[in-house]
Structure 1
Amino acid sequence: MSQPEMQPEGPPREKGGRRDRKDLTGRPFPLGDWGEPADRLDALYLWTEDGALRAADWYLRDRVAKRRGARALRLVTAAAVSVAGALPLLDLTGAWSGGAPWGYLALLLAAVCVGCDRYFGVTAGWMRDVATAQAIQRRLEALQFDWASESVREVLGPADGTASETAERCLGVLRRFHEDLTELVRSETADWMAEFRAGPAPHSTQTMVPWAAQRAEGPGQPGRFLLPPGRRPNMPRQRPPEPPR
């Protein structure tokens, strides 16, 4: 399964009047003259919205092949199981003498299809792509409403602060959306890598996850620093209470 590679490259190229969205590559930050803050904020919003649509489009395109593969594997599995159940009946009725042994071959084919689906994560990847694209769409809709709210506040509420505070608030909205979108893609990629960690994957792949969460230490788990056997923890000495005067 192919996964997004967050490696910065050049700006997306136009191919046939349509933006080339083969992978989730980085994009250059739109810089310019901040003499007109409103125009720069509008350009940043369009850049942010295009990035979200680009990410959702990548996952929707990636799910097409997985959906076809998952449906094909499930169709072959259902057909093989049906044939495996019908062949012994045909052998018992005499319609096809000696057809029962072929039922084992059909069962083997069904098991191979199920194993390929589980090992390569075809169905799981299809569902994960759909869920990620829907999550991106929900976050984009929230950003659109937040941006509209900020625009209305700027027009109707000039007493809410200075122009610099308004620009800083708008930049904060865009930055939080970028961080949320990046975290969503990172979580999806981590789930994809976890499938290979749980399966027969090399040990080097299992250790190359820099964002693996640390294990929480509960009340029944040992702490980070353990005492040697036979040692008691040193409690801080307390002054004896002074006698009342």
Structure 2
Amino acid sequence: MSAPVRRPDDLGLPDLPALTWAPGGLRADLAALRAWAERVADEAVDWYMAEKRLKARWSRRLRSLAIVLATLGGAVPVVALASHRPEYGNWGYLLLALAAGAVAYDRFFGYSSAWLRYVATATLIQGELADFRVGWAREMAAVGDREPTADEVRALIETARGFVRRVNDAVRVETDAWRAEFDTRMGELEVGLQGRPPISGG
């Protein structure tokens, strides 16, 4: 089974700005590098939060529908018996089946699970961004208003590199979880279809 691909408008990586590292321009290059690293995180958070809202909307709708249908499915037989029309009680089974179908639909398309993953990933990246900003400010405070040395520049570049790597790792972990969940759902679907009895003609 080939791995699924995400949509064309998926999260990407912004281009690294042109950095010259010329004498007298080191602080400007470092500021551009910091802005780029923060943009990587900001775009990832924005993407996950936007997708989270869509998944949350569908998850709430399907779960609410399942609750309503399950409630009605349990109430219909009681009402049918109370009104001395037991034949209408069978409608309760249909409503319960529809409630189960709403839950299965949510599970198959991963609305609820994706909602939780997206929130967790966005929160993780936001925490990494806060740590990066504080760490960068600490290192720049040590530089003060002078031109940074070569070692200080290398340390700041490593700080930015490590931060971007952690952001990309968070995205990769979420993507791997999504892919594993997708493969599991497709496997369950294939097993279910193979277990169905053949439809006879005539």
TM-score by length of 1: 0.69
Give how far 1:200 is off: 2.5
> Which structure 2 segments of 5+ residues have no match?
189-202
Q: Distance in 2 between matches of 1:142 and 1:47?
A: 16
Task: Quote the sequence identity (%).
Answer: 32
Q: Distance in 2 between matches of 1:140 and 1:97?
A: 62
Instruction: Say if 2:151 is the partner of 1:165.
Output: yes
Whether contact under 8 Å (1:88, 1:100) holds in the other structure is yes
> Which structure 1 segments of 5+ residues have no match?
6-21, 203-245
Q: Deviations over 1:171-212 (max 9, x none)?
A: 01000001111111111000000012222249xxxxxxxxxx
Whether contact under 8 Å (1:4, 1:24) holds in the other structure is no
* Aligned residue in 2 for 1:123: 112
AA partner of residue 78 (structure 1): I
Q: Distance in 2 between matches of 1:3 and 1:53?
A: 20
**Runs of at least 4 residues off by over 6 Å:** none
Q: Distance in 2 between matches of 1:171 and 1:32?
A: 12
Q: 2:42 aligns with which of 23, 34, 53?
A: 53
AA partner of residue 14 (structure 2): R
* Aligned residue in 2 for 1:190: 176
Give how far 1:149 is off: 0.3
Whether contact under 8 Å (1:4, 1:25) holds in the other structure is no
Q: Distance in 1 between matches of 2:182 and 2:61?
A: 23
| CA shift in 2, pair 1:37/1:164, >3 Å | same
Q: How many aligned positions are there?
A: 182
* Aligned residue in 2 for 1:30: 17
Instruction: Say if 2:123 is the partner of 1:137.
Output: no
| Bigger radius of gyration among the two | 1
Whether contact under 8 Å (2:13, 2:40) holds in the other structure is no
TM-score by length of 2: 0.84
State the SS of the aligned residue for 1:47. helix
State the SS of the aligned residue for 2:16. coil
Give how far 1:65 is off: 1.2
